[in-house]
Amino acid sequence: MNVKFNNRDPVYVQVVRYFKEQIAKGFFEPGQEIPSRRELAHRLKINPNTAQRAYKEMEEQGLIFTEGNLPSRITKDEGVLKKVRKELIMEAVETFVHSVRTINVPLEEVLQIVREYYEKADYARGHTHD
């Protein structure tokens, strides 16, 4: 786990986002055990109270669940997992659309460029991914 946090968004929100990304990428599998709050704080080098807050938020959003005194786990609820993926996609698309709109590029042209670039970027990422 290696996350760079920015200083202006609540750290707990950034932790939740990190978990969503890991879930969407398939790095966290449904039902997978996740670190304890204390361990997460230590690994991400954040305040333990913040880690606690992030877990509380994720529990409320149904991303993780805890049974009794057992370690928390990633949800097995397919609906929630699909929603996470969609949420991340929508967020990226919104940002993208917003920025291409401000420079007035026709949709068809954008889609063409996206299609070409997507293949290339995917290839490049395959080589630099850590």
Helix (H, G, I), strand (E, B) or coil at 72: coil
Q: Which stretch binds another protein (CB under 8 A): 8-16, 56-64, 100-108, 112-120?
A: 8-16
Distance CA 92, CA 32 (A): 26
Asked if residue 35 binds another protein (CB under 8 A), the reply is no
Asked if residue 76 binds another protein (CB under 8 A), the reply is no
Asked if residue 58 binds another protein (CB under 8 A), the reply is no
Asked if residue 8 binds another protein (CB under 8 A), the reply is yes
- State the minimum distance, in angstroms, from the CB of residue 103 to another protein: 26
For residue 62, give every residue at least 6 positions away whose Cβ sits within 8 Å of its Cβ, in sequence order, or none: 75, 77, 80
- State the minimum distance, in angstroms, from the CB of residue 1 to another protein: 12
Q: Which stretch binds another protein (CB under 8 A): 2-10, 89-97, 106-114, 116-124?
A: 2-10
Q: Which stretch binds another protein (CB under 8 A): 36-44, 55-63, 86-94, 111-119?
A: 36-44
Binding residues for another protein (CB under 8 A)? 5, 7-13, 38, 41-42, 44-50, 53
